[in-house]
A and B are shown apart, each in its own frame.
Chain A
Amino acid sequence: EVQLVESGGGLVQPGGSLRLSCAASRFSFKSYAMTWVRQAPGKGLEWVSGISASGGTTYYADSVKGRFFISRDNSENTLYLQMSSLRAEDTAVYFCAKDLKGNTALVTYMDVWGKGTTVTVSS
């Protein structure tokens, strides 16, 4: 079964940094764009960032641009999200997700999701 497992969440002070990881298994990770989506407590879904299959193209929501950095290691089947200058409003469950359509530079729709990792920004 195709699987994504996030890790790296936790409690961090405002202004701090955190790196999330997403380990992928049982599919050709290097062939698919990947995405991070977050969900604040009791709120809806918010797209955060995306990266092309090769890693050569990245996309960010305006709310995180300049603070978050997405990357991937296709040899390790792992997706990352480096988060810095964290704010209280970044508190959320962060999901990584696989793109539906392979071999594209774009992020489109997400057909496989991890269970999420919780990030809490608080002093």
Chain B
Amino acid sequence: EIVLTQSPATLSLSPGERATLSCRASQSVSSYLAWYQQKPGQAPRLLIYDASNRPTGIPARFSGSGSGTDFTLTISSLEPEDFAVYYCQQRMNWLTFGGGTKVEIK
């Protein structure tokens, strides 16, 4: 099983600041990685797939990078609605999710 480790567990930032979230895989997942956002009481929302592609409707302030074992989700300037939990997910070998990073208001 491919284990995804997300860091930090919690990120405390202010609106307008840049957020950088990390996801590290226990073995190479090539570019087969996605990022999701989840708010309390809601289903997850797909933000990024194949490491760096945004689905239609996802704002450009969300960007993804990386390949192999190290990946980054960057939110260029936090909006109030971006405070949430973010998960990475790989599809190289079955599907697994990371443990999540909570982005909270500082």
Total number of residue pairs linking A and B with CB closer than 8 Å? 56
CB-nearest residue of chain A to B49: A109
Q: Which A15-49 residues have C-beta < 8 A from chain B?
A: 35, 37, 44-47
Taking a contact as CB atoms under 8 Å apart, the answer to whether A116 and B43 are in contact is yes
With contacts A106-B91, A109-B34, A111-B55 taken as known, whether A47 is within 8 angstroms of B46 at the C-beta atoms is: no
CB distance from A121 to the nearest CB of B (A): 21
With contacts A114-B43, A116-B43 taken as known, whether A107 is within 8 angstroms of B91 at the C-beta atoms is: yes
Residue B66 interfacial (CB < 8 Å): no
Main secondary structure of the interface of A (DSSP, over half): strand
Taking a contact as CB atoms under 8 Å apart, the answer to whether B94 and A47 are in contact is yes
Q: Which residues of B are found within 8 Å of A97, using beta-carbon distances?
A: 43
Main secondary structure of the interface of B (DSSP, over half): loop
CB distance from A36 to the nearest CB of B (A): 11
Residue B87 interfacial (CB < 8 Å): yes
Q: Which residues of B are found within 8 Å of A46, using beta-carbon distances?
A: 97
Taking a contact as CB atoms under 8 Å apart, the answer to whether B100 and A110 are in contact is no
Pick from A47, A50, A107, A111: contact of B97, CB under 8 Å: A47
CA of A114 to CA of B32, assembled, Å = 23
Closest 7 CB pairs of A and B: A113-B43, A47-B95, A45-B97, A109-B34, A109-B49, A111-B46, A44-B100
B-side residues, CB < 8 A to A, are: 1, 32, 34, 36, 38, 42-46, 49, 55, 87, 89, 91, 94-100
A-side residues, CB < 8 A to B, are: 35, 37, 44-47, 50, 59, 61-62, 95, 97, 100, 106-111, 113-116
- List 17 A–B pairs whose Cβ atoms lie within 8 Å, in order of A's numbering: A37-B44, A44-B87, A45-B36, A45-B87, A45-B100, A47-B96, A59-B94, A59-B95, A95-B44, A97-B43, A100-B46, A100-B49, A108-B49, A108-B91, A109-B49, A111-B55, A113-B43
